Structure 1
Amino acid sequence: MSDVGEFVDAALQRESSWSRAKEDRVRLGSELRFYGASTGAVRGTIRDATRRYPDMAHDEVAALSSELWIVPVFERRLAAIVLLQSHVRLLDNSDLTRVEGFLREARLRVLVDPLAIDVIGPMIESLDSQNRARADAALDRWAGEGDVWLRRAALLSPLLALRSGGGDWDSFVRRVRVALIDDSELVEETVAFMLDELAKARPELRFSR
């Protein structure tokens, strides 16, 4: 394990709580292990790690996110997401393969949703036209995947951009139509959530099946 990986893991374990771990396991219904550290503690740990290791560039951030994720502990995986959120400006479309792997293993809203909304979406918005086209092609593929969590991520990713007046509405609509091919309750819920959120901020956007 890298020095920074050991630092993060040790800090998370210091914040552990047996009772919280038990409650979180029951609440989330996951087979992951739980340290029982709070979300605030996870965010604080990544903030401290960034201060302690201030020279992390793209490759170091990418490697650390994978190092944290590979151990099936909820707080480590949440820490990997917070790390990517904190360094999203460093990411590019080459990171989508890694993030896709995370999404396939996450299978929890509390992990999938921040990856989609706070990592994938802002990353794609920052890309130049050529790399944006490649990233859009990946999201188009996700929208038609059998894995409903990938479909959820493809639909959630443009939320911040669309809500703020930007984003690509036509691409979103296209992905919705693809994602709704089968009767997935999770996908239906995702579409309803997105349309509700956008109706508040941009009522001019209309979607009809």
Structure 2
Amino acid sequence: MSDAAEFIDEALRRESSWLRAEEAEARLGAGLRFYGSSIGAVRGTVRDALRRHSRLTHDEVTALSSELWEPPVFERRLAAIVLLQTNIQLLTNSDLTRLEGFVREGKLRELVDPLAVDVIGPLIAGLDGQAKTRAEGVLQRWVGGTDQWLRRAALMSPLSALRAGGGDWDAFVRTATAALDAAREAADEAESVRDAVSIVLSEVAKRRPELHFPSSVA
């Protein structure tokens, strides 16, 4: 284990609570282990780690994220997301392959949604030219694929930009419409897709009520 990963893991263990761990396991499960560290502790731990290990390169950040993610421990995986979010300016479209793996393995809204909203969406929003075109093509593949978590991530990813007054609303409507149509033919995925669309619509409506989604689709 690298020094940075060891520092984060030890700090999260120190902030653990067996009561929180038992509650989280009962509520989330998904085959994960739980330290019982609070979200605030996770964020503070990553912040402290970045102070100790400043000026990490792209390769060091992405390697550390994979190192944190590998054990099936909820708080470590959440720390990996916070790490990537904090270093979003270092990420490139080639990192979507790694992020796709994280989404496939996440299988929890509490992991997939922040990955989509705080990492994948801002990553793509910061791209331009051919790199952005390729990244958007990856999202379209996710929407058209069979993995419900990738589909959910693709739907959630524009939320940050849309909520801030930017983003491509028409593109979201097209993507969401296609995903909802596909979900109607796969009942086991319908709830997750509808929930993702509902979250985006609800959050965007708070700040941009002028945007409308076809009621016949929603």
The answer to whether TM tops 0.5 is yes
2: CA distance, partners of 1:53 / 1:33: 27
2: CA distance, partners of 1:164 / 1:151: 22
Q: Between 9-18 and 196-205, report the one with greater CA deviation.
A: 196-205
Aligned residues: 209
1: CA distance, partners of 2:132 / 2:69: 26
2: CA distance, partners of 1:162 / 1:92: 21
Displacement of 1:200: 2.3
How much is the aligned-residue C-alpha RMSD, in angstroms? 1.1
Identity of aligned residues (%): 64
Residue of structure 2 equivalent to 1:87: 87
Displacement of 1:204: 2.4
Amino acid at match of 1:142: W
Q: Between 179-188 and 51-60, report the one with greater CA deviation.
A: 179-188
2: CA distance, partners of 1:166 / 1:38: 32
Displacement of 1:114: 0.7
List 4+ stretches of structure 1 deviating above 4 A.
Answer: none
Displacement of 1:42: 0.8
Name structure 2 gaps, 5 residues minimum. 185-189
2: CA distance, partners of 1:129 / 1:117: 22
Instruction: Tell me whether 1:199 sits opposite 2:205 in the alignment.
Output: yes
Residue of structure 1 equivalent to 2:160: 160
Displacement of 1:170: 2.2
Q: Between 190-199 and 91-100, report the one with greater CA deviation.
A: 190-199
What's the CA shift string for 1:158-189, capped at 9, x where partnerless?
A: 11111222111222122112211123111011
Name structure 1 gaps, 5 residues minimum. none
Residue of structure 2 equivalent to 1:189: 195
Q: Between 42-51 and 20-29, report the one with greater CA deviation.
A: 20-29
2: CA distance, partners of 1:13 / 1:136: 38
2: CA distance, partners of 1:192 / 1:86: 27
Residue of structure 1 equivalent to 2:13: 13
What's the CA shift string for 1:19-75, capped at 9, x where partnerless?
A: 211111012133101111111111111001000000211110000000000111111
What's the CA shift string for 1:54-113, capped at 9, x where partnerless?
A: 021111000000000011111110110010111111111111000010000111111111
TM-score normalised per structure 1:
0.96
TM-score normalised per structure 2:
0.92
Residue of structure 1 equivalent to 2:116: 116
1: CA distance, partners of 2:164 / 2:139: 20
Amino acid at match of 2:17: S
